[in-house]
Amino acid sequence: MLTVDVCFSPELLHLYNLQGRVVVVVDILRATSSMVTAFAHGVEKMVPVSKLQECMAYRKKGFLTAAERDGQKAEGFDLGNSPFSYMEESIKGKAVAITTTNGTQAIRLSISADTVVIGSFLNISAVAKFVQMQQKSVIIVCAAWKGKFNLEDTLFAGALIEKLGSEFEPENDSTLAATVLWDAAKADRRAFLNNSSHVKRLARLDITKDVDFCLQEDVYDAVPVWQGAYLT
């Protein structure tokens, strides 16, 4: 039997057994949406890291460096965490080291899974197809915000569960909760998220354009997968 489970925060990951599973990591606003955009626009590989210093060290190896903390581009790095910065011609064929407040930590904490895939609304149908092809149980890991539940990653989880269909049995109540929330939100996900904390945080930083972009569905087919040292 194939199952689907949702982990609402990386802080809860110790409760999950990742072995033998596919993990879909999601940080809708904005890390995984930016990564998917980067690959769709020709980035060759990405290495997600936890610390700013670690990320900067990749510059010597010829990587572009990308860093975000608390929604803002960290000083001294080539890129921040806006999907729009990955649409430039100049990133084609490049290797990028990236660190973000939550998304890259969630990826690093998931790499003991059989397969780690990067999910977003931008590539959700391609991710669903990829997961179905693996014929393994799946855990959707929400990046959340500093360990706390967030709505946008949970809505993605509900939407992906819907796309995976009845072949995947819900494993526990977080799966049911994600489904209920997605059912309530899907008619207008943007309006549903209006009062969510990270949408308000990004609005204070004047980054609503990124929010609107990241909530679009099936813009790209790219499915970044962890290959042991890099996402490709």
Which lies closer to ligand 3SL via its Cβ, residue 56 or residue 202?
202
Tokens 């209920």, residue? 180
Return the amino acid letter for 22.
Answer: V
Residue from 9, 21, 24, 27 binding ligand 3SL (CB under 6 A): 27
Edge to edge, what strands does the sheet with 64-69 contain? Answer: 45-48, 95-99, 64-69, 72-73
Q: In whole angstroms, how close is the CB of 165 to ligand 3SL at the nearest point?
A: 29
* Of 181, 144, 138, 131, residue with least CA distance to 159: 181
Q: In whole angstroms, what is the distance from residue 32 CA to residue 44 CA?
A: 16
Size of the site for ligand 3SL (CB under 6 A): 12
Q: In whole angstroms, how close is the CB of 125 to ligand 3SL at the nearest point?
A: 22
Q: Which stretch binds ligand 3SL (CB under 6 A): 25-33, 37-45, 131-139, 176-184?
A: 25-33
User: Mapping DSSP to helix (H, G, I), strand (E, B) and coil, where does residue 92 land?
Assistant: coil
Binding mask 93-122 for ligand 3SL (x = CB under 6 A): -------xxxx-------------------
Return the amino acid letter for 137.
Answer: S
Q: Tally Cβ neighbours within 10 Å of residue 147.
A: 12
Return the amino acid letter for 102.
Answer: N
Site membership for ligand 3SL, residue 124 (CB under 6 A): no
Which lies closer to ligand 3SL via its Cβ, residue 81 or residue 179?
81
Q: In whole angstroms, what is the distance from residue 107 CA to residue 102 CA?
A: 9
Q: In whole angstroms, how close is the CB of 72 to ligand 3SL at the nearest point?
A: 8
Residues numbered 148 to 207 that lie near ligand 3SL (CB under 6 A) are none
Residues numbered 63 to 92 that lie near ligand 3SL (CB under 6 A) are 68, 71, 81
Q: In whole angstroms, what is the distance from residue 207 CA to residue 215 CA?
A: 13
* Of 128, 130, 94, 101, residue with least CA distance to 32: 101
Q: In whole angstroms, how close is the CB of 137 to ligand 3SL at the nearest point?
A: 26
Q: In whole angstroms, how close is the CB of 71 to ligand 3SL at the nearest point?
A: 3
Contact residues for ligand 3SL, defined by CB under 6 A:
27, 29-31, 68, 71, 81, 100-103, 143
